[in-house]
Amino acid sequence: MQIRLRLFATYREIVGSRGLTWSARDGITLRELVDGIVAKYPRLADHRGSMLLAVNEDIVSAERVLTDGDEVALLPPVSGGAR
Amino acid sequence: MQIRLRLFATYREIVGSRGLTWSARDGITLRELVDGIVAKYPRLADHRGSMLLAVNEDIVSAERVLTDGDEVALLPPVSGGAR
Amino acid sequence: MIDVRRARIDLEAVLDSVRRDDAGAIVLFVGTVRSDEGIRALDYEVYRPMAIKSLTALAEQAKEKFGIAEMSIVHRLGRVPVGGDSVAIACAGIHRAETFAACEWAMDEVKRIVPIWKTEVEGRAKSVRGSR
Amino acid sequence: MIDVRRARIDLEAVLDSVRRDDAGAIVLFVGTVRSDEGIRALDYEVYRPMAIKSLTALAEQAKEKFGIAEMSIVHRLGRVPVGGDSVAIACAGIHRAETFAACEWAMDEVKRIVPIWKTEVEGRAKSVRGSR
């Protein structure tokens, strides 16, 4: 199945893209998906502890089972507002 | 000597004027001046406890000795801002 | 900017008066005339020179007490209809906690010590009101 | 009014969006890009649909939590130069204590949970700067 991936700030810089499509086996969990992404982009590994995960614009747990067409976003810690 | 008197809000309504000139003997204290004003406008008596007194735009004590030409303001409790 | 004036308060100008490149937080408080049974407006009466003096002192005190960069206070005088702005306090600081605190403190002080008095202006309940 | 936008924030419009005749207190917070050694601007990046969703939820939560009447939040995205406004939160309530509290709480939440990230844009120190 196809998962749409969205990347922001530091993660975008590491991966070199704002968004890409990721092929995954059916029934994969969010955690397994992220394992695969980190394996391909090892510089993401340092950020795993502070990474927030959203599926279809909602923050969800890493145990979430993904479905074809889901939009998964890897979110760095936020820093809105002024400096 | 001549004292300029300024009145606001409730006090203005009681006295019927925003300001007037008051003749007083030399060396009079602010307290004595107010005694005279209250004697002339007895409806001010109820307000004496909450009345603030200013001479030449500064809040001062009732023991202040007045000088010719002083501007004395009788100030009701303030209520600026919105309701 | 410290002012007591008859004209409408230009909020954008009040905000701009406290802007500084080194102060990243601006807090503006606006007090408006709230609608209430039978009230059409408020009349503000002021002892102007003393009010200006005490607002100026208050802004200086706020800067010292809270370590903020700038404060402006503008108060209306005369008649302000329901919905109109009667007072605006803008405050700029480096951090937001003290900027909020300074603005709130200043508004409390305005109500406590600045020689401004208000009178309610009552409106007769005209039958026209029911048609709204 | 909840918005995340590239265009300059119209503060007067943000204020007007929370006005209500029965709410006499309005508090506006404006976060601006603070000048700092070598910084020329901040670049704001946002996960827009999620940001809009979380700002909307946040304003609703603030209304419930503090009993205030209205809240608007507008955040810039893209490049904001030093001195520019990056975020505005306006809040209207009946009493000022909770209106201040709601506005401050909302700004803390924006920084804590809304998916917006900033990157510093550094400027080379040009000799022109010395002429100012």
pLDDT 10s digit of each residue in chain A, 83 long? 999 999 999 999 999 999 999 999 999 999 999 999 999 999 999 999 889 999 999 999 999 999 999 999 999 988 766 54
pTM of the model: 0.90
Neighbours of D85 (CB within 10 A): 22
In DSSP terms, A60 is beta-bridged to none
Looking at 3.40.50.1980, 3.30.2090.10, 3.40.50.720, 3.90.1170.40, the CATH number of the domain C2-122 comes to: 3.90.1170.40
| B70 pLDDT higher than 60 | yes
Q: CB contact, 8 Å: B80 with chain D?
A: no
Contacts of C31 in chain D (CB under 8 A): 24-26, 96
| Contacts across the A-D interface (CB distance below 8 Å) | 65
Are C106 and C62 a contacting pair, CB within 8 Å? Answer: yes
| pLDDT digit string, tens, across residues C9-63 | 999 999 999 999 999 999 999 999 999 888 899 999 999 999 999 999 999 999 9
Are D92 and D17 a contacting pair, CB within 8 Å? Answer: no
What CATH number does the domain located at B2-75 have? 3.10.20.30
CA D21 – CA D39 distance, rounded (Å): 42
In chain D, where the domains are located: 2-122
Whole-number pLDDT of residue D127: 35
Record: contact D25-B83, CB cut-off 8 A: no
Contacts of A83 in chain C (CB under 8 A): 24
In chain B, where the domains are located: 2-75
Residue-level length of chain A = 83
**Average pLDDT over chain C, rounded to whole?**
91
Phi and psi at residue A40, to the nearest 5°: -80, -35
Asked whether at least 3 C-beta pairs link A and B within 8 Å, the reply is no
Can you state the angle between helices C96-113 and D96-113, rounded to 10 degrees?
170
Record: contact D34-C27, CB cut-off 8 A: no
Among chain D residues, the shortest Cα distance to B82 is held by: D24
**3-class SS of residue C2:** strand
Are D107 and D29 a contacting pair, CB within 8 Å? Answer: yes
| pLDDT digit string, tens, across residues A23-40 | 999 999 999 999 999 999
- Complex prediction ipTM: 0.88
